[in-house]
Chains A and B, each alone.
Chain A
Amino acid sequence: MNIQDKTMVEAVNLALHHAMGADERVVCLGEDIGVNGGVFRATVDLQQRFGEQRVMDTPLAETLIAGSAIGMAATGLRPVMEIQFMGFIFPAFEQLITHAARLRNRTRGRMQCPLVVRAPFGGGIHAPEHHSESTEALLAHIPGIRVVIPSSPRRAYGLLLSAIDDPDPVVFLEPKRLYRIQKQPLADDGERLPLDTCFTLRQGSDITLISWGASVRETLLAADRLQEQNISAEVIDVATVSPIDIETLCQSVARTGRCLIVHEACRSGGIGADIAAQLSEQVFDCLQAPIQRVTGFDTPMPYFRQEQWYLADPEDIVHAAVSVVHYQ
């Protein structure tokens, strides 16, 4: 098996090639995904290999991209639609929320909607206004859609393949800050990673650090620094932020007794709040300190000159983790 070092965006591309090669029903649609290979190059060479029938450049119309993907999915295809930036997913919300999420439920199983929505999201690449928000909680709030967020090339490859296999709609959010930041050896072996499952990235006994997407990177760096202070941190990548594998999180927090949740999205009404609530419902007796969060602020993502003030860095995480560990 040919193993090569791949970035996350290359891993996405590899998974798309793999899925389209293995199953004729898989089609891709979106803006600029064909000749141009996507503005981030995630769909590069797909149209060359699979043709314009299966790799479709659409007119500039997100409502239509989502609506037509639903039609395709219900009629025997497996559409993978790209929303160029998550900031432009909102026109597709009506279709995703009112139709994709409940087609199976409404028709009592007569119809299904096996589509994947891919969208790059999050800050940290000096993008213009409206390009850097992390609005995963808006989608995670909707029953009937899965929201999956990879945090490394290998998880991007394995999770995207599972998302495409999945018989229900999956929103697959790609933290674009991670697209090219790291390479991992990757074989195009078609190996799937499970959805609805957290990944424990690092074992530890003093505190559980919970994160997903781009902040997993800073969280892991923070765990290294905590180690230097003799604090042993467990790091868990939530990966599927809806529905959440709360079981894994509970087991870890029950063991460590302390928990810090780190996310890039703004603070209020977020997935971190939900995880904290579920943990206090289920493992309150084991907690030795209040659950804390390191998050973005309840402000719009600032234009890029100030985005570093919005994004937590490893020191911010270390600082918060230390206060949780030292809580009496």
Chain B
Amino acid sequence: MESLATVIRYLDDDGQACHELPLWAHEMEPLLECYRWMVLTRLFDQKAIALQRTGQCGTYPSSLGQEAISVSLGQAMEAEDIFVPYYRDHGTQLMRGCGMHELLLYWGGDERGSAGGPAQDFPICVPIATQCGHAVGAARALQLQNKPQAVVCTLGDGASSKGDFLEALNLAGVWQLPVVFVLNNNQWAISVSRQQQCGATALALKGIGAGIPSLQVDGNDTIAMMDEVTRALERARSGGGATLIEAISYRLSDHTTADDASRYRPDDEVQQAWKREPIARLKQFLMRQGAWSDALEQQWQEHCQHAVAAAVKHYLEMPEQPPEAMFDYLYADWPSVLDGQLQTFAERRQRRLGE
């Protein structure tokens, strides 16, 4: 097999239906819900970047242009499902109950940012693709305990080159695990393009080799994403095994705030990609359906501005952790043989704070 049959999409670049829509998409509420979260996610993103630029947050990976992937996951997942994220899924994290101030804390270099979210969800994974193993492990645990939940694991196109991903896919295929891999193909892994990353025509082909239903979906088409993610989750929960979804999108921003994409990426490519971005696309669709209006847009924008501003205030006003917080949560019970280090630390603290 040289390629997959087709890239699944329902909305064209202008938000016109280009295929008969799935039944559920005739109800506007789920799509409106997605749209609102996408707008909030984008405003949050802008604010995080502004905070980084003014020295109030650390290096931050933008999700600009990829909101439909995150938000479809947030919308389609049940609260009890398990999310195993990489670092670019702010939308899903917010929808699953992480506070915006917590995301800011994490990227602002404060451990408390990893404390939020549902108890079963994994923290953001920074080392590329290492989370894939956790996802299949969690899926196996659900399977053995006969729990009707599913695991969602996200990763980037660069991550698909790592053994960790291929090994996890392989196991998911062997054990028919309740896991959905969502591969965010945003075309670039820092400066390395999709073509330099893999010689196959579709990254989803890697799932075929593992015996897993695998598809390419237009990741900027919220309807297509919602539909396929929902279907894959149902398959997982009902014992049908794993799915690999290659969500085709584009990273409209720099890789992170520490990156300058203009060094390696042609401008006109970015300009072209803006024409396919997910928020404008869904908005046009919703407007045409009469489900959204300029007035609603303005109201919602204002609401989001307030919510983001309140979260930023909360973040900035949080008192620092005490210096010895680095010793907290290292072990369930503090090994008393390490007391000497606490003592050294206390002396350092006293000296530096002049106590």
Count of A-B contacts judged by CB separation below 8 Å: 116
Find out whether the CB atom of B323 lies under 8 angstroms from the CB atom of A309. yes
Would you give 18 A-B contacts (Cβ < 8 Å), ordered by A?
A32-B191, A57-B191, A59-B192, A60-B197, A61-B161, A61-B162, A63-B162, A64-B163, A88-B128, A91-B164, A127-B58, A130-B127, A299-B326, A304-B58, A305-B320, A306-B111, A315-B351, A315-B352
B338 at interface by CB-CB < 8 Å: yes
B17 at interface by CB-CB < 8 Å: no
Chain B residues 304-332 with CB under 8 Å of chain A are: 320-321, 323, 325-327, 330
In the assembled complex, how far is the CB of residue B219 from the closest CB belonging to chain A, in whole angstroms? 19
Give the distance in Å from the alpha carbon of A62 to the alpha carbon of B344 in the complex. Answer: 37
Find out whether the CB atom of A302 lies under 8 angstroms from the CB atom of B59. no
B341 at interface by CB-CB < 8 Å: yes
Find out whether the CB atom of A31 lies under 8 angstroms from the CB atom of B352. no
Find out whether the CB atom of B158 lies under 8 angstroms from the CB atom of A59. yes
Find out whether the CB atom of A35 lies under 8 angstroms from the CB atom of B191. yes
Give the distance in Å from the alpha carbon of A309 to the alpha carbon of B109 in the complex. Answer: 13
Find out whether the CB atom of A126 lies under 8 angstroms from the CB atom of B351. no
Find out whether the CB atom of A60 lies under 8 angstroms from the CB atom of B189. yes
Give the distance in Å from the alpha carbon of A182 to the alpha carbon of B113 in the complex. Answer: 34
Q: 15 other contacts beyond A306-B326, A315-B352, with CB at 8 A cut-off?
A: A31-B192, A32-B192, A35-B191, A57-B191, A60-B161, A64-B163, A128-B107, A129-B124, A130-B126, A306-B323, A306-B325, A309-B345, A312-B348, A316-B348, A316-B351
Task: List chain A positions with a Cβ less than 8 A from chain B.
Answer: 31-32, 34-37, 39, 57, 59-64, 87-88, 90-91, 126-131, 267, 297-300, 302-307, 309-310, 312-313, 315-316, 319
CB-nearest residue of chain A to B129: A60
Find out whether the CB atom of B338 lies under 8 angstroms from the CB atom of A298. yes
Query: Which A residues are in CB contact (< 8 Å) with B113?
Result: 303
Give the distance in Å from the alpha carbon of A39 to the alpha carbon of B189 in the complex. Answer: 12
Give the distance in Å from the alpha carbon of A37 to the alpha carbon of B264 in the complex. Answer: 10
Task: List chain B positions with a Cβ less than 8 A from chain A.
Answer: 58-59, 106-111, 113, 124, 126-129, 158-159, 161-164, 189-192, 196-198, 258-259, 263-264, 320-321, 323, 325-327, 330, 338, 341, 344-345, 348-349, 351-352
Cβ contact of A63, chosen from B158, B163, B325, cutoff 8 A: B163
Cβ contact of B58, chosen from A90, A128, A309, A313, cutoff 8 A: A128
Q: Taking each of B129, B161, B348, B352, which has the highest tally of chain A beta carbons within 10 Å of its own beta carbon?
A: B348
Find out whether the CB atom of A305 lies under 8 angstroms from the CB atom of B321. yes
Query: Which A residues are in CB contact (< 8 Å) with B191?
Result: 32, 34-36, 57
Q: Taking each of A35, A298, A303, which has the highest tally of chain B beta carbons within 10 Å of its own beta carbon?
A: A303
Find out whether the CB atom of B326 lies under 8 angstroms from the CB atom of A91. no
Query: Which B residues are in CB contact (< 8 Å) with A63?
Result: 162-163
Cβ contact of A305, chosen from B108, B128, B258, B259, cutoff 8 A: B108
In the assembled complex, how far is the CB of residue A129 from the closest CB belonging to chain B, in whole angstroms? 5
Closest 5 pairs (CB-CB, A-B): A304-B109, A36-B191, A59-B161, A60-B158, A302-B326
Give the distance in Å from the alpha carbon of A91 to the alpha carbon of B161 in the complex. Answer: 13
Query: Which A residues are in CB contact (< 8 Å) with B321?
Result: 305-306
Find out whether the CB atom of A302 lies under 8 angstroms from the CB atom of B111. yes
Cβ contact of A298, chosen from B124, B128, B341, cutoff 8 A: B341
In the assembled complex, how far is the CB of residue A173 from the closest CB belonging to chain B, in whole angstroms? 18
CB-nearest residue of chain A to B342: A297
Give the distance in Å from the alpha carbon of A307 to the alpha carbon of B108 in the complex. Answer: 12
